[in-house]
Amino acid sequence: MKPTREPFPAMPTTYSVGSQTFQRRMYFQNERWARLFIETLYHYRQTGIFKLHAFVVMPEHFHILLTPSTTLERTVQYLKGGFSRKARLKFHWKFPIWQNSFTDHRIRDAVDCDNHIQYIYLNPIRRKLCGVASEYPYSSAHSGFELDEPPQRLKPEWGASSCGTALHPECCAPSESEQPNTKQTGVQSSAVRVGKSQTNSLCDTRFDTLETVKIIPAKASAIPFILSVQRACPAASQWKPTDYTAAIAQPDRLVLIAEKDSKILGFAVVYTGIPEWELENVAVAPDSRRSGIGRALMAALINLARKAGATEIRQEIRISNTAAQKLGLSVGFIQEGRRPDYYRDRVEDALLFKYLLGRQ
């Protein structure tokens, strides 16, 4: 009998994960809330759900670098659901805490790992919550937090201390050059016009019917018209007026509208706070479809993301929303996965799409 050969163990996968609070409310400005989230984080680390390599808890979102021992979806459910249960018990909280979605990026190599640790630690500096990363109390850059070393193949060249925590020296000086792939878009102050003469420079696709269509950042006055388009598109995410008000006001969100003859024909909302931009909502009025409006919105978004130094654009789409799937595929998005039973209001799977921007 031939001796059996043990299979090679699966190589652990490390992710950078982020999630926002419900309507981006500043729950974690409260020290008790921030401390409870960190307590929850370490509880699941100690139970072996994941290895923890870096984290920061911002007022309305978190970023974590971790290596899960189960599926990533289950890991995030443990973390967000566990915190929600603790908040109900400790604070008697009865209201929503989290947005349903989360962002994730699979760490490719040591350089990628280094870049994401730097990005995590620079978050509070960029928001002017501290002068150096080690001063921010809700970050693993602060003293006293025990961390796990990343897998050997991902260990940054600058090394780590005995407990797995190290602060890249550049994280102490928040200059513009040390923020990889996190530049501001600058689009709040300038319109991006997408017309027949300009579209080729955005996505190498020509739309001969768009001579008079503009793609511009939305103002608060556009919200009623955005809602009108949204209501006509039941497959789109059905946001409330206050959601759009907050998105337009926030520096790390971008709301684009497609406008022709002062009429709004479509819109897109994207979260720009991390190098992997997240397309949160997109819709085109039914009577304006098949005219290139959706592709023009996506082309403008891709162009802005590339100029801002983003690495990719991600989107979660209902499996029943075939129009959004076809739109994404038509401009170069690829499907990379599926989250079973992800949507709860009408239970169905989410398909995961992304557009790789690469280095230009």
Question: DSSP string spanning 77-110?
Answer: HHHHHHHHHHHHHHH---S--B-S--EEEE--SH
Give residue 81's pLDDT: 94
15-154 CATH, one of 3.60.21.70, 3.30.70.1290, 3.40.190.10, 3.30.930.10: 3.30.70.1290
Where does the chain hold its CATH 3.30.70.1290 domain(s)? 15-154
The identity of residue 58, as a single letter, is M
Note the Cα 73 to chain centre separation in Å.
Answer: 15
Where does the chain hold its CATH 3.40.630.30 domain(s)? 214-356
Of 123, 113, 26, the closest CA to residue 65 belongs to: 113
* CATH architecture of structural domain 214-356: 3-Layer(aba) Sandwich (3.40)
Give residue 58's pLDDT: 93
3-class DSSP state of 275: coil
What is the token pair recorded at 16? 């950078």
Give residue 345's pLDDT: 67
* Residue ranges, the chain, pLDDT below 50: 8, 158-210, 359-360
Of 232, 327, 290, 276, the closest CA to residue 63 belongs to: 276
Cα-based angle 202, 284, 187 (whole degrees, multiple of 5): 45
Give residue 276's pLDDT: 82
Give residue 286's pLDDT: 92
Which residue is associated with the tokens 């709004």?
264
Give residue 266's pLDDT: 95
